[in-house]
Chain A
Amino acid sequence: EDQVTQSPEALRLQEGESSSLNCSYTVSGLRGLFWYRQDPGKGPEFLFTLYSAGEEKEKERLKATLTKKESFLHITAPKPEDSATYLCAVQARYGNKLVFGAGTILRVKS
């Protein structure tokens, strides 16, 4: 069964304090791994797609990396506006369904 586990469940950072979020997965053939950001009371907002091990994507203070078993979302010098829940999802080789992790709640204090 395809599974996604995100850690930590919650993370508190001071503004400027860099850190990483983890997404571990087991899937029967990875077609793609997706990162989303979700603000309270809103729908998830797409950030990145990663397709194969070794791939990296960057957007402002965020950088996503992928290995054969996990993905990391690195946050460099975060600001309070980066506070949100970050969701990871995988798409298996067959079908178009996504399997989501429970998310990491990030709080950045100024």
Chain B
Amino acid sequence: DGGITQSPKYLFRKEGQNVTLSCEQNLNHDAMYWYRQDPGQGLRLIYYSQIVNDFQKGDIAEGYSVSREKKESFPLTVTSAQKNPTAFYLCASSSWGTGRSFNQPQHFGDGTRLSIL
């Protein structure tokens, strides 16, 4: 079955520590995204990538970093500079194209819940 796999499901971060969240997709999608979800708020875009070796900042990129070395993988690192990292992190992917194909829906993984120790 094609889909998006996020790991781990739960993650705990100590003070001053960087942690990395994994996201792998086998949908052959070009574009991948990272969102943060907080209670009572909409999903907010952290970073996105249209193609391998290229990525752009979203609305709340400060304190986060990403890489896109393979089409299937888009890991997110939450650095110690992110002072309020407790949230539910969602990875998504979609086709990327022009014209009508821009409307392709994003498909989501089941998230990683990050908490502070």
A46 and B96: CB pair below 8 A?
no
B105 and A87: CB pair below 8 A?
no
Binds A, one of B14-22, B65-73, B74-82, B107-115: B107-115
Choice from A32, A91, A97, A100 contacting B42 with Cβ under 8 Å: A100
Choice from A4, A9, A31, A34 contacting B105 with Cβ under 8 Å: A34
B41 and A49: CB pair below 8 A?
no
Bound-complex Cα distance A57 to B16 (A)? 48
B58, CB-defined interface residue at 8 Å: yes
B42 and A43: CB pair below 8 A?
no
Q: How many interface residues does B have (CB within 8 Å)? A: 27
Closest A residue to B106 by CB, please name it.
A98
A102 and B42: CB pair below 8 A?
yes
B111 and A100: CB pair below 8 A?
no
A103 and B42: CB pair below 8 A?
yes
Main secondary structure of the interface of A (DSSP, over half): strand
Bound-complex Cα distance A9 to B42 (A)? 12
B102 and A97: CB pair below 8 A?
no
Residues of the B chain whose Cβ atoms lie less than 8 Å from the Cβ of A54: none
Most chain B CB inside 10 Å of its own CB: which residue of A9, A31, A36, A96: A96
> Separation in Å of the A32 CB from the closest CB of chain B?
4
Q: Mark A73-97, 1 if CB is under 8 A from B, else 0.
A: 0000000000000010101000011
Q: How many interface residues does A have (CB within 8 Å)? A: 25
> Separation in Å of the B55 CB from the closest CB of chain A?
13
Bound-complex Cα distance A5 to B40 (A)? 12
B58 and A97: CB pair below 8 A?
yes
A16, CB-defined interface residue at 8 Å: no
> Separation in Å of the B51 CB from the closest CB of chain A?
12
B103, CB-defined interface residue at 8 Å: yes
Q: Which B residues form the contact surface with A (CB < 8 A)?
A: 4, 6, 31, 35, 40-45, 48, 50, 58, 90, 92, 94, 96, 102-103, 105-111, 113
